[in-house]
A and B are shown apart, each in its own frame.
Chain A
Amino acid sequence: MGAHRPGNAPPEGRQMSHDPAHSGPAPAVGPVSLGPEAHVMVGNADKFINWCRKSSLWYLLFATACCGIELMQTGASRYDLDRFGAVFRATPRQSDLMIVAGTITHKMAERLIRLYEQMPEPKYVISMGSCANTGGPFYKDSYCVVKGVDLLIPVDVYVPGCPPRPEALIDGILKLQKIIEQKRNFAAKA
């Protein structure tokens, strides 16, 4: 990305101003121009923004059915989803990602759409498990199950399984991170 990555040794002859080893006089407080000591990273804005977005995917705790338990267990002790920057939020207004974990019925459909609309942009959706993908075991005989959450909201990643293992869900999140990485926020508009 930038020329001076954190961790790289600074080029010869230049002291980093905040270096504690450098015990010079404290710099005078005042308007400071961006001189060569300032930390500047030059790089692709798209890459930077995508990196920020993919590394803090806060997901909405939207557990309607069986998959919700696996979602909980993915977030808990053994699988520890926090490692990927994904932590759960209880409100859609703080969430970037909706993991639809479980069956959506016709009674629930309207609420699901409303929750999705309450999430701030950019927002992503993972459809977790057979019920959210297609209606799953309830596809044929149930009169009140929505046959796939993609009839209601756009879906980015589908995770198969009934319910998917936590590893599968983690893989889904990593796939979503790859999708986010490739997004072009600025270049397309120019």
Chain B
Amino acid sequence: MKARAEALPTQEMLINMGPQHPSTHGVLRVILRTDGEVVVNARPDVGYLHRALEKIGERVTYAQFMPFTDRLDYLASMNCNAAWAWTVEKLAGIEVPERAEYIRVIVCELNRISSHLIAFGSFTADMGAFTPFLYAIRERERINDLFEDICGNRLTYNYVRIGGVSADLPDRFLEKTKEFLDYFEPKIPEYNKLISYNKIFVHRLANVAAISGGEAVAYGLTGPNLRGSGVSFDLRRSEPYSVYPKLDFDVCVGTGERGTVGDCFDRYMVRINEMRESVKILRQAIAQIPGGPVMAKVPRAFKPPVGEVYFRAENPRGETGIYLISDGTVNPYRLKLRAPSFVTMNIFEKVTKGLMIADIVAVIGSFDIILPEIDR
């Protein structure tokens, strides 16, 4: 092999992947240095979608920032809405009616399913199988219909309010959700039959970019990426908020079932299994939801007390943390959005060393990154 390498001198190439590339899930740019097909170094270059959400947060009121949280992670707008509401409520000590909390959990879990569906669909499409994408969108459209019933929009909902939710659930919503769950639950084994254990698919993912549990924690991975490395840590369980303590569900972790623990396949499988857990949570929440008001009394000119608070919620992509500083006026003084995808990109350069170029796509897909979160 060595003799051959001497006979055929090679030199490193510099390849620019993105910001316009179909598999980078948006406008991510990766600067690749490669030796033939083998990646010597892959440096992510982000910021092509930096929209200054943090600066905007300092210039609008607490309630006015709600629509911008939609656009922090547009695949999980409900979760971001709710995370913002929970942060401000924690800062100001607002008690939220129980029905509103249940509604939030229901919409959050529905949104988690629809976000994981996109992760599943676009990931398989990146791996060269376009059909599962169409299956995933088929189911996602039904969740979009449910959200449309609630708030009239398909993607950016702006439904959760500080102190509750903007309106009670429409008629027959819970029945419709149950119908959807009955329809959706058998689809998960169907996905597994369709693609998850497909031999080519497994070969593309197993043993690729394995991350150990310790590494994952040190590099700040959260959510499914952390759990894929075998660390059983879920904020809904470990630092419970809202009504999650009353709901029973399992924390899915990577087991290394087709390769090493923490490889791309494990991260993928955690998302598939989490959809099943979300169905479980939804069924319980629908059974338990009480009646009553959906909005606490929050003054129109809302001025929380002076203070600093850090709240984090388990979103589909991991821990969305909000560090909020209030100086007692109507505008937040400082607002830091700790977005899971942004922190996840830290480890990208490390895990991609020595992989093939095609594996880069697998790694990006298995992290399920989303660009507005990276760039904010």
Contact = CB atoms under 8 A, between A and B. Distances in A.
Q: Do chains A and B touch in the complex (CB under 8 A)?
A: yes
Interface of A: 61-66, 68-70, 72-73, 76-78, 90, 92, 102-103, 105, 107-108, 111, 115, 137-138, 140-145, 162-163, 165
Residue among A72, A76, A145, A162 with max Cβ neighbours from chain B (10 Å) = A76
A141 B55 contact: yes
Contacts of A66: 70-71, 74, 155-156, 372
B102 interface: no
Contacts of B55: 141-143
Nearest to A74: B137
Interface string B17-32: 0011110001100000
Contacts of B213: none
Nearest to B19: A111
Contacts of A140: 59
Sorted from nearest, which 6 A-B pairs have the closest CB atoms? A76-B137, A90-B22, A66-B74, A142-B52, A77-B138, A141-B56
Contacts of A108: 19, 27, 48-49
B20 A62 contact: yes
Contact of B67 (A102, A137, A144): A137
B154 interface: yes
Nearest to B23: A90
Nearest to B70: A66
29 contacts: A61-B22, A62-B20, A64-B48, A65-B71, A69-B75, A69-B118, A70-B154, A72-B137, A73-B137, A73-B141, A76-B134, A77-B141, A78-B141, A90-B21, A103-B51, A105-B47, A108-B27, A111-B20, A111-B48, A137-B67, A137-B68, A138-B52, A141-B52, A141-B55, A142-B52, A143-B55, A144-B52, A145-B51, A145-B52
Interface in B1-52: 19-22, 26-27, 47-52
A107 B68 CA distance: 21
B52 A64 contact: no
A64 B155 contact: no
Contacts of A111: 19-20, 48
Interface in B93-111: none
Interface of B: 19-22, 26-27, 47-52, 55-56, 59-60, 67-68, 70-71, 74-75, 118, 122, 133-135, 137-138, 140-141, 144, 154-156, 371-372, 375
Contacts, number: 97
Nearest to A108: B48
B123 to A, nearest CB: 13
Contacts of B21: 90
A143 B52 contact: yes
Nearest to B134: A77
A148 to B, nearest CB: 14
A66 B73 CA distance: 8
Contacts of A162: 156
A111 B138 CA distance: 33
A107 B134 contact: no
Nearest to B46: A107
A65 to B, nearest CB: 6
B74 A64 contact: no
A65 B372 contact: yes
Given A65-B371, A73-B137, A142-B55, A163 B155 contact: yes
Given A76-B133, A141-B52, A141-B60, A65 B141 contact: no
A97 B144 CA distance: 27
A162 B71 CA distance: 10
A65 B75 CA distance: 10
A111 B29 CA distance: 11
Nearest to B137: A76
Contacts of B59: 140-141
Contacts of B140: 73
Residue among B21, B49, B55 with max Cβ neighbours from chain A (10 Å) = B49
Nearest to B56: A141
Nearest to B140: A73
A67 to B, nearest CB: 9
A59 B318 CA distance: 33
A105 B231 CA distance: 37
A165 to B, nearest CB: 6
A145 B48 CA distance: 10
A132 to B, nearest CB: 13
Contact of A138 (B47, B51, B74): B51
Contact of A64 (B27, B47, B156): B27
Contacts of A90: 21-22
